[in-house]
């Protein structure tokens, strides 16, 4: 073999080894493991409207929300939620919150973030508004309760307290502690 043939063979051999080396490193893929499930096991809804029935099967309340999603625990989480009793229930309260969670057994709704309960037929026949950051609501028992700070407005009157129990069907409030108020004639 001539010198020129040897150089051509060496260049060809180096090219083959170089391309093999490059192909081997470029074809290796990195396996990335993700934590959690790739596909959620529950469902989600946009512009959700959920109807709740009483023991007799009649419509008792409805929950409207911008978004609803089933959690791993089978609870349902809502965003920007409004809860209203049906006309049949004759309970004039409307509840709003940033977030709500309905338990799996649907006995309790946990409301969080800018919780507001309003009744136009509230106490003394005046519009009544309750504000808090956390409220546990039991629709079938017509009751709402919190141990957090609450602000209550009844017409021009204003009260604050720590903790409250509202019996919505009876139109009755029980303030737990640290009650202070402002009454304007």
124: left (phi over 0), alpha (psi -120 to 50) or beta: left
Compute the distance between CA of residue 170 and CA of residue 143 in angstroms, rounded to an integer. 9
Mean pLDDT for the stretch of residues 1-23? 70
Is the model's pLDDT at 167 over the cut of 60?
Answer: yes
Q: Is 27 a member of any domain? A: no
**What does the mean pLDDT of the chain come to?**
83
Compute the distance between CA of residue 8 and CA of residue 152 in angstroms, rounded to an integer. 93
Q: Is 28 a member of any domain? A: no
What was the pLDDT predicted at 181?
Answer: 79
> 147: exposed, middle or buried (C-beta count within 10 Å: 0-12, 13-18, 19+)?
middle
DSSP string, the chain: --HHHHHHHHHHHHHHHHHHHHHHHHH-------SS-SS-SS-EEEEEEEEEE-TTSSEEEEEEEEEEEE-TTS-EEEEEEEEEE-TTTT--EEEEEEEEEE-TTSS-EEEEEEEEEEETT-GGGS-EEEEEEEEEEEGGGTEEEEEEEEEEEETTEEEEEEEEEEETTTTEEEEEEEEEEE---
What was the pLDDT predicted at 89?
Answer: 83
Is the model's pLDDT at 42 over the cut of 80?
Answer: no
What was the pLDDT predicted at 95?
Answer: 95
Q: Is 19 a member of any domain? A: no
Domain tally, the chain? 1
Is the model's pLDDT at 11 over the cut of 70?
Answer: no
Q: What residues make up the domain containing 75?
A: 44-182
Compute the distance between CA of residue 95 and CA of residue 84 in angstroms, rounded to an integer. 7
Mean pLDDT for the stretch of residues 136-162? 91
Of residues 156 and 150, more confidence is placed in 150
Q: Is 38 a member of any domain? A: no
Is the model's pLDDT at 6 over the cut of 80?
Answer: no
What was the pLDDT predicted at 109?
Answer: 92
What's 130's domain CATH number?
Answer: 2.60.450.10
- Bridge partners for 182 per DSSP: 158
What was the pLDDT predicted at 27?
Answer: 54
Taking only the tens place, the pLDDT of each residue in 173-185 is 888 888 887 766 6
Taking only the tens place, the pLDDT of each residue in 66-90 is 999 988 878 889 999 999 999 888 8
How many percent of the chain have pLDDT more than 90? Answer: 34
Compute the distance between CA of residue 112 and CA of residue 160 in angstroms, rounded to an integer. 18
Q: Is 17 a member of any domain? A: no
pLDDT band at 32 (very low <50, low <70, confident <90, very high): low
CA-CA-CA-CA torsion sign (166, 171, 172, 173): positive
Buried b (16+ CB within 10 A) or exposed e, 132-145: bebbebebeebbbb
Mean pLDDT for the stretch of residues 108-128? 86
Q: Is 63 a member of any domain? A: yes
Is the model's pLDDT at 103 over the cut of 60?
Answer: yes
Mean pLDDT for the stretch of residues 3-30? 67
């Amino acid at each position: 073999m001539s010198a020129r043939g040897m150089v051509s063979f060496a260049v060809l051999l180096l090219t083959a080894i170089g391309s093999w080396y490059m192909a081997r490193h470029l074809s290796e893929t990195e396996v990335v493991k993700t934590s959690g499930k790739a596909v959620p096991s529950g469902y989600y809804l946009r512009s959700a409207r959920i109807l709740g029935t009483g023991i007799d099967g009649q419509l008792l309340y409805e929950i409207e929300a911008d978004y609803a999603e089933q959690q791993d625990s089978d609870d349902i989480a809502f965003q920007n939620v409004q809860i209203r009793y049906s006309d049949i229930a004759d309970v004039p309260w409307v509840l709003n919150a940033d977030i709500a969670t309905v338990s799996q057994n649907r006995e309790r709704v946990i409301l969080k973030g800018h919780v507001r309960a309003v009744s136009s037929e509230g106490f003394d026949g005046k519009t009544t508004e309750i504000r808090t950051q956390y409220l546990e609501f039991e629709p079938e028992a017509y009751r709402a309760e919190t141990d957090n700070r609450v602000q209550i407005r009844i017409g021009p009157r204003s009260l604050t307290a720590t903790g409250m129990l509202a019996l919505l069907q009876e139109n009755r409030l029980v303030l737990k502690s640290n009650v202070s108020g402002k009454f304007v004639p």
